[in-house]
Homo-oligomer: A and B are copies of this chain.
Amino acid sequence: LYVNEKTMLVKSQVKYIQSLGQKKFRDQEGVFIVEGPKMVRELLDAPNIELRQLYAVREWLQEHPSPPLITATSPGFTELKEGELERISSLSTPNQVLAVFGRPSFPPPVFEKTVSLLLDGIQDPGNLGTIVRIADWFGLRQVVCSRDCADIFNVKTIQSTMGSISRIQVVYEDPEEVIRRHPNLPVYAAVLEGKNLYETGQTSEGLIMIGNESRGIRGELLQKATHRITIPRKGQAESLNAAVATGIILSHLV
């Protein structure tokens, strides 16, 4: 059991965790970081995600008497002394535990008979994570991100998914390519001047495109849409936050 492997935090570990702040190193290692008891617990229980490293204060350990085994290849577990979590955490209020997980494994995505999101250039990590959480709430299975979207394995993004990362498959691919491969699927595009969302019927199959926070959906991509839909506005705000718009659209369409 890993509780026997107790050590203290060493410099090379701090350096390793810090290096994972960069996408390049995260990708190289095939890992991501999760912080806080609730999310770490949820991902420890996820069947398709493998724990690589766990850094926790004694308090967390005592509340989790039967933690899962760490795999043979992993550097294992480190008990943190007071003040050590602050050295590796990227949260403003570090919370008991930080874990490094291998990336979730999924079967190949299937776009038929289900609704999927196509995100075009979502820049804000918090927005991306929140969108994945929304997709999970509404029972979707996959989210396609254009290659210029934020990185799903960014620490901020991961924290905003609130654990949905183990259930929603996020793939980076050209959205046009996905549309091209599925010519029979309806493609909904969220735009500022389209058909009233509330007059659009529900669907159990299709692709829903959400555009970049400021410029919306790229022109070439927008041309592939079969339905242009709009959340009717009653007031004067110029736009809605991308994640909020996604929530409203899914709540109506799905």
Binding site for B on A (CB under 8 A): 126, 130, 133-140, 160, 162-164, 167, 231, 233-241, 243-248, 251-252, 254
Contact = CB atoms under 8 A, between A and B. Distances in A.
Contacts of A248: 247-248, 251
Given A240-B133, A244-B134, A235 B162 contact: no
Contacts of A134: 237, 240-241, 244
A102 to B, nearest CB: 21
Contact of A252 (B138, B238, B251): B251
A233 B126 contact: no
A254 B236 contact: no
Given A130-B241, A138-B235, A234-B254, 14 more contacts: A133-B240, A134-B241, A135-B235, A136-B235, A136-B237, A137-B233, A137-B237, A139-B233, A140-B235, A162-B237, A164-B237, A231-B251, A240-B247, A247-B248
Nearest to A214: B38
A135 to B, nearest CB: 8
Contact of A236 (B130, B167, B252): B167
A213 to B, nearest CB: 10
